[in-house]
Structure 1
Amino acid sequence: MPDTTPDPSTVLPALPALSAQAERLIELGVHEIAGLSADEIRAFAAQAAAGPEAGAVGDGALLAVHPDRAPASALAPLLRRDGRPGFVVVDMADVDAFTPCAVELPDAPLYMVSGVDRGDHMSNWSPDEALPALTEEDRTPLVLTEGIHWVLQQPEALERNLCFMTIGSRLRKPDGTLDARTPAIWISNGTGRDGRERRNAPKVGWCWWNNRHTWLGFASTTGRRG
């Protein structure tokens, strides 16, 4: 497997303050999708920023809405790049059926995700290779909606040749086995069924569990708190 040492040149700046993230979600109407009021979003962000664990979890953390409240299909179109809205690939109509797998989310409509990393040092790894390596690092992979929230708050987290998978979301088939598709977020080239009008748009798609891609890392977190 490739070297696991992170490249310091790919380190992203800190996320906006939680209060700014709350306003961003309100501006996009995410609170309405989630059935929450703007005041509820603001109050959670304020409490999280001022709480006893704020330094350990809240500083630089990502504000996320639980996927049960705001599914990927509703969040993806809110993404923007070069003026083009985000989209879900046509052969992933079941995107919202990709639910947390081996990842425990807080039982709350709003929560924080700490220590988010794009996993550039795992580019050209397969999900099957990356998952145990993340576990050894005491990290868990992001679920798809967390990845979308990250790009909503920090669009520069998605770059050409530096995009990421969100393997914390999997689709369990009726027989109990896991679908081999694994969700990822990258930038469309405007080819094939994407359509030329979607060139450079943020794209929610999938890759096979055992395949490697030089341009996809594995987004992960050090923890979550509601």
Structure 2
Amino acid sequence: MADFDAGTEFDRQVQTLVDLGYPGLAGMTDTAFRGLVAPLRGPVLARAATTQPPTGRVPFLLVVSRALVPLEEAVPLTTLVGKSSPGVIERFYAPGELERFVSLKELEVPEADVYVAFDIDRGEEFCGVVPLDALEAVAGRDRTPLTIEEGVAFITHYPQALAKNKCFSLGGSRLGDRRVPALWISKGAPKLGWCWEGNPHTWLGLASAGDRGH
């Protein structure tokens, strides 16, 4: 495996967010935004990986909360590798409904404007598996499903994570019904949609995280 430098990767992710215009969307200057994120560098370096994980896994993600930058503004900033079409939100989310898909309490997602999710796996092994069964398997490994914000962060920092037949559900955000949010590819762009928790799809796995910090 290739060597991995967590500090360099942290700086790259910060720069990616700045380049995409996150500070402006958050009503902040670039300097203020960098100052907001800077305290996360310590926790990241404290548990730094030294080797680059295999494809489909990443050591950490800087996750911006929807309270700071709404999903409706963050999703269009995502693109596929080599493509320029902006990410879209599936029309079958009713107006205002997306905001009601919130993180599960048991995930203990940090109540912070920006936080870190560690040890991310897009979960391609769960392609073709019923989401409910995938969620049970993930829980059995002391891991938790990604939230919508974490999924958006995943493809923002690693556009290559969203690939043909290797898309993923985001079971960490739920509305209390049978729908599970998911990210897939449509018309050459990322799309945030949802699928039923009891329906398997050959092209849809279940993404998960090891833990979170702030």
TM-score by length of 1: 0.80
Tell me, yes or no, if structure 1 residue 100 matches structure 2 residue 91: no
Alignment root-mean-square deviation, CA: 2.2
Unaligned runs of 5+ in 2: 51-58
Tell me, yes or no, if structure 1 residue 24 matches structure 2 residue 11: no
- Secondary structure at the aligned position of 2:121 is classed as coil
Distance across 2 between alignment mates of 1:72 and 1:57: 29
Q: Displacement, 1:146?
A: 0.8
Preserved contact between residue 71 and residue 145 of structure 1 (Cα < 8 Å): no
- Secondary structure at the aligned position of 2:177 is classed as coil
Aligned partner of 2:76 in structure 1 is 77
Q: Displacement, 1:45?
A: 4.3
Distance across 2 between alignment mates of 1:14 and 1:147: 23
Distance across 2 between alignment mates of 1:56 and 1:103: 20
| Superposed CA offset, 1:134-162 (max 9, x none) | 11111111001110111011100000000
Preserved contact between residue 57 and residue 114 of structure 1 (Cα < 8 Å): no
What is the one-letter code of the residue matched to 1:200?
A: G
What is the one-letter code of the residue matched to 1:153?
A: H
Tell me, yes or no, if structure 1 residue 126 matches structure 2 residue 126: no
Preserved contact between residue 34 and residue 65 of structure 1 (Cα < 8 Å): no
Tell me, yes or no, if structure 1 residue 179 matches structure 2 residue 171: no
Q: Displacement, 1:96?
A: 2.1
Distance across 2 between alignment mates of 1:117 and 1:53: 17
Q: Displacement, 1:19?
A: 1.1
Distance across 2 between alignment mates of 1:221 and 1:40: 28
Q: Displacement, 1:54?
A: 2.0
Aligned partner of 1:220 in structure 2 is 208
Unaligned runs of 5+ in 1: 1-12, 172-177, 189-198
Tell me, yes or no, if structure 1 residue 54 matches structure 2 residue 26: no
Distance across 1 between alignment mates of 2:13 and 2:132: 33
Distance across 1 between alignment mates of 2:69 and 2:151: 13
Q: Percent identity?
A: 36
- Secondary structure at the aligned position of 1:205 is classed as strand
Cα 1:218–1:14 shift into 2, 3 Å: farther
Preserved contact between residue 89 and residue 193 of structure 2 (Cα < 8 Å): yes
- Secondary structure at the aligned position of 1:217 is classed as strand
What is the one-letter code of the residue matched to 2:98?
A: V
Aligned partner of 1:33 in structure 2 is 25
Cα 1:207–1:52 shift into 2, 3 Å: closer
Q: Displacement, 1:132?
A: 1.6
Aligned partner of 2:53 in structure 1 is none
TM-score by length of 2: 0.84
Aligned partner of 2:87 in structure 1 is 86
